[in-house]
Amino acid sequence: MMVDVDVVRAWRESQSDDALVLGLASALQDVLGEATVKAFLRTTGFDNRRRLARVFVATYYVCACAVRDRLQKVCSRVPPINSLPASIERLKQIAEK
């Protein structure tokens, strides 16, 4: 397979850093949410799953905010976290039972 280096270079230059950062920011909550739930489900040795769910919800939020803050330093158009992904909402329901 032949690749035209000039075409690739033109494509890469047309992609702004802001677009890349905004793309990362849009995927951030779902990716971190799914990873948080996987970690919760794989954690063993705790009798009180409700308390553990609270810890994981808080951990998710701190991590998501830290990454968002870092991305906002690169691109001021990165939006704030206004809602939780469905995966974290489910964990939150477990924590509140």
Concatenated DSSP letters of 20-72: HHHHHHHHHHHHHHHHHHHHHHH--S-S-HHHHHHHHHHHHHHHHHHHHHHHH
19 CB-near residues (< 8 Å, 6+ apart) = none
| Domain ranges within the chain, ordered by starting residue | 17-96
What would the pLDDT profile of 40-81 be if each residue is shown by its tens digit?
999 999 999 999 999 999 999 999 999 999 999 988 999 999
Average model confidence (pLDDT) across the chain: 89
CB atoms near residue 30 (< 10 Å) = 13
pLDDT at 19: 82
Place of tokens 């809602």: 83
